Structure 1
């Protein structure tokens, strides 16, 4: 992303701060009519993409926004004449929609002919979104968006389920541009303009308030002195920071700049250090109560109350991070790594002195429980960040810092709005042509009524669609394409949505397209692909949790309490065996045969749902006791072994 200076920098800053502040105003005093809001939202933020992101880049990964990364310009930080032209043109399609909402509403879909201006403006907005995505993200999302457009024009040539009737240029443009219920200005853009805009801004204010440092200090106090302390600090601090951030790359840059060098200094391999930070940062989006705004979006798309969503997600998030902590602990033991020195750790008194920075989260939760709208609760939380930061005048947010927070939030909102626009095109293309139904039929035919087979295919689809896409748009796409498949086969609605959400998140830590891993690799000075593989291995707990949402609803606190305890214990036991197999250590180094046996046991525990919980639970208890005895014997044997 460019760093703009001079008059251009000031102009862009004023525009961005004003656009962000306008959304905060609407959150407090009421939102405009939906189509006007969506058009205004894209009109204000899309031009920023062409001014902040160059057409060509050097390939250096930097933070830009909601879970994504971009590149620095090859030679200078000044927008080219073409960039200014594209920024100006990007205003026109949205301005037309903003000025003429009644005209759009009064049209009869696919019967009222398009005017020439409407046709060209529709073509323009689609082309600009594809080019913007190519600049700000990766060519993968741009190619996927373009592929959907090409499919709409060529579907009549394809056979069977893949085919669709011939679509004219007017039909395609109308679908993408002039129908308020789908396409670029559909409901997804409304989510971007309200929920995402407010909570991205909340995350920006939390970062500048110093809460990130508080999370790191808390992690250091809790786990810093144990074996592999810095890695555990990264896990804890990134989980806490990620719930409000909504950006895995932002997590890596904020916390990884401290934890990754510490891990390397302690003795962790660079790729492993980067992988720890990547997996921990990606997982922040699954951590209640905010889940990077995803909790509100899931509630919005499913109609399930917010409180039910975060309760259902709580044990899964806990299991994800407990698994990571076990993994880094075993790696530290395998390498013989110690913890951090006592003199390098903050005191509990220091942590408590900054604990007021956690209060905005409490304000948010309180406002939601009181029945305030989600966006107004977010606005109250932003105000709480500013006010509470002044409990310690030395840390109080000053006007300049508030402007900086609004600017940083605006640049992230611009990137998210762009990605959501691309998601709107993809979803509109897939639903209009019936490809969503075709994919569902193909998966269900292949699965032959088996929820297991279908869930594996849906997981692969979600990983593919989530590659190179920010977390929120990735979920919005896969929730339309993949979640209904599982629901039709009997999976609970919330479980199905959490399943695809988890895999949309894990796509950001899955090679070869793992943007967050490449960002961490830059800090760790490691190979990006190796870092991605380490991150995927460390996030294996997410796979166990995701499948549990579909097959064992008790993990979502459904049913009697004893069943929830039993299911959580089984998932944890399975995760422990996966960690043992992955690291190859349990009180001593393990051979490949033992590691493969551990994998087999983990799979048997996690996926033998045909066996009653009442039978599997005692087996898990026996296995855990056996593991404890093996650890005790092996570690005692190592301590008694001669040293020289």
Structure 2
């Protein structure tokens, strides 16, 4: 959900309505349930292949193939969610919580079997992106397939014959391949034909009304992002005209010549500050303009430097005092935003640690190095995450005493 809608905060208020009460019902504390929801929702922004549209902007900005952005993001994203799953698992062990019985769990494959065709636009979008087509072209085709799928399902909904239904979809699929020869005009023609049929039938199940409402909703959701991007241009202009960027960058670079870690830390603080209260896309645009060039001058690989600032711009929504994602979860969890934010920091530790590891070991983002290097650094990261989760939760097979918790936390830090 979060990777598609492009907003971690919106994801919290959408999916949190049922995930947070469900976690509380099974025995998790209100603050922990809110923290898990906030952490998971923000993780959608860093999980390929969509990444809340930032992957497309990053590919255009640094002029690299989209597939390269996805490759760099995949391992850190998996580690991020592994941390969340592991922390939830340990918290359940500490509280002796038991989940739903197997027979009571919903069957995801039954849902896929029933509505498998809804995956076609997403599969088409990702396939085109990986084939080297531009994000604009791929997005247009994906959107067109979605429209045709919705209208086509409405047109054939009254057919009782299975043969007729299969024949309809086969012919519609063949018609869609015409875009190879005639371009996107093919999709407009097919959509217009389907709309005409629905208008002629009159009893169309309200699909056309929903389509018009979807257009209005899309415009409403696009406006805040457009306004934010316009304001970002003003902010970047002020930063450049006043010389703040050059002065700040020069100071950090001077520090980084003697101490790269301190330079990374200062860059992290800057990104957390710039990212507070700003949507994902303008967040990245601001942080990449000010902080990414600094890391690049310090010798950090291009994609790694942009990923570093992007990650910490995202983490600002989990970090006090603003922590928009945590405060969005507060009314649902019926807990203070600050307590939820502190729990989110504990659950999302990989989001703060992995970017540092990637700078010192770019193989973590598949930037250079052999397969052995990648496997080794991922192994270290997984072990460190496992130990950190145990130390932060105070449980690993059994309750840990203060000395054992300190021991595993120090061991995790040394691995990093």
Distance 1:366 1:448 in 2: 43
**Alignment counterpart, residue 503 of structure 1, candidates 312, 319, 333:** 312
Find out whether 1:472 has 2:281 as its counterpart: yes
Distance 1:572 1:390 in 2: 46
Q: Give the conservation status (yes or no) of the 8 Å contact 1:390–1:396.
A: no
CA deviation after TM superposition for structure 1 residue 343, in Å:
4.3
Corresponding residue pairs, total: 366
**Alignment counterpart, residue 555 of structure 1, candidates 348, 364, 381:** 364
Distance 2:276 2:147 in 1: 36
Q: Aligned residue for 1:602?
A: 412
Cα 1:396–1:324 change in 2 (3 A) is farther
Distance 2:274 2:74 in 1: 25
Q: Give the conservation status (yes or no) of the 8 Å contact 1:243–1:285.
A: yes
RMSD: 1.9
Cα 1:372–1:448 change in 2 (3 A) is closer
**Alignment counterpart, residue 350 of structure 1, candidates 98, 105, 111:** 111
Q: Aligned residue for 1:421?
A: 230
Q: Aligned residue for 2:211?
A: 402
Q: Aligned residue for 1:238?
A: none
Q: Give the conservation status (yes or no) of the 8 Å contact 1:389–1:397.
A: no
**Alignment counterpart, residue 259 of structure 1, candidates 19, 43, 55:** 19
Q: Aligned residue for 1:294?
A: 54
Q: How does 1:200-239 map to 2 (within 5 A)?
A: none
TM-score (norm. length: structure 2): 0.84
Distance 1:585 1:391 in 2: 53
Q: Give the conservation status (yes or no) of the 8 Å contact 2:318–2:326.
A: yes
Q: Give the conservation status (yes or no) of the 8 Å contact 2:66–2:132.
A: no
Distance 2:58 2:206 in 1: 32
Q: Give the conservation status (yes or no) of the 8 Å contact 1:449–1:489.
A: no
Find out whether 1:247 has 2:7 as its counterpart: yes
Residue-by-residue CA offset, 1:508-551 (whole Å, 9 max, x unaligned): 11111011111111111111111111112211111122112211
Distance 2:329 2:206 in 1: 29
Q: Give the conservation status (yes or no) of the 8 Å contact 1:544–1:575.
A: no
Residue-by-residue CA offset, 1:53-105 (whole Å, 9 max, x unaligned): xxxxxxxxxxxxxxxxxxxxxxxxxxxxxxxxxxxxxxxxxxxxxxxxxxxxx
Residue-by-residue CA offset, 1:560-584 (whole Å, 9 max, x unaligned): 1121111111111111111111111
Q: Give the conservation status (yes or no) of the 8 Å contact 1:319–1:572.
A: yes
Find out whether 1:372 has 2:181 as its counterpart: no
Cα 1:580–1:478 change in 2 (3 A) is same
CA deviation after TM superposition for structure 1 residue 441, in Å:
1.5
Q: How does 1:26-45 map to 2 (within 5 A)?
A: none
Cα 1:313–1:413 change in 2 (3 A) is same
CA deviation after TM superposition for structure 1 residue 592, in Å:
2.2
Q: Aligned residue for 2:70?
A: 310
CA deviation after TM superposition for structure 1 residue 423, in Å:
1.3
Cα 1:474–1:353 change in 2 (3 A) is same
Find out whether 1:360 has 2:85 as its counterpart: no
Residue-by-residue CA offset, 1:222-276 (whole Å, 9 max, x unaligned): xxxxxxxxxxxxxxxxxxx222111112211222111111101101111111111
Find out whether 1:285 has 2:13 as its counterpart: no
Find out whether 1:329 has 2:89 as its counterpart: yes
Distance 2:212 2:305 in 1: 40
Cα 1:403–1:535 change in 2 (3 A) is farther
Q: How does 1:164-183 map to 2 (within 5 A)?
A: none
CA deviation after TM superposition for structure 1 residue 468, in Å:
0.8
Q: Give the conservation status (yes or no) of the 8 Å contact 1:386–1:397.
A: no
CA deviation after TM superposition for structure 1 residue 415, in Å:
0.8
**Alignment counterpart, residue 545 of structure 1, candidates 334, 354, 357:** 354
Q: Aligned residue for 2:393?
A: 583
Higher RCO (CA-CA < 8 Å; seq separation 6+):
2
Q: Give the conservation status (yes or no) of the 8 Å contact 2:256–2:298.
A: no
SS, match of residue 509 in structure 1:
coil
Q: Aligned residue for 1:36?
A: none
Q: Give the conservation status (yes or no) of the 8 Å contact 1:496–1:549.
A: no
Distance 2:262 2:311 in 1: 18
**Alignment counterpart, residue 264 of structure 2, candidates 437, 452, 455:** 455
Q: How does 1:73-88 map to 2 (within 5 A)?
A: none
Q: Give the conservation status (yes or no) of the 8 Å contact 1:252–1:277.
A: yes
Q: Give the conservation status (yes or no) of the 8 Å contact 2:39–2:348.
A: yes
Q: Aligned residue for 1:386?
A: 147
Q: Give the conservation status (yes or no) of the 8 Å contact 1:544–1:571.
A: no
Q: How does 1:104-253 map to 2 (within 5 A)?
A: 241-253=1-13
TM-score (norm. length: structure 1): 0.55
Residue-by-residue CA offset, 1:146-186 (whole Å, 9 max, x unaligned): xxxxxxxxxxxxxxxxxxxxxxxxxxxxxxxxxxxxxxxxx
Q: Give the conservation status (yes or no) of the 8 Å contact 2:65–2:132.
A: no
**Alignment counterpart, residue 446 of structure 1, candidates 255, 263, 275:** 255
CA deviation after TM superposition for structure 1 residue 309, in Å:
0.6
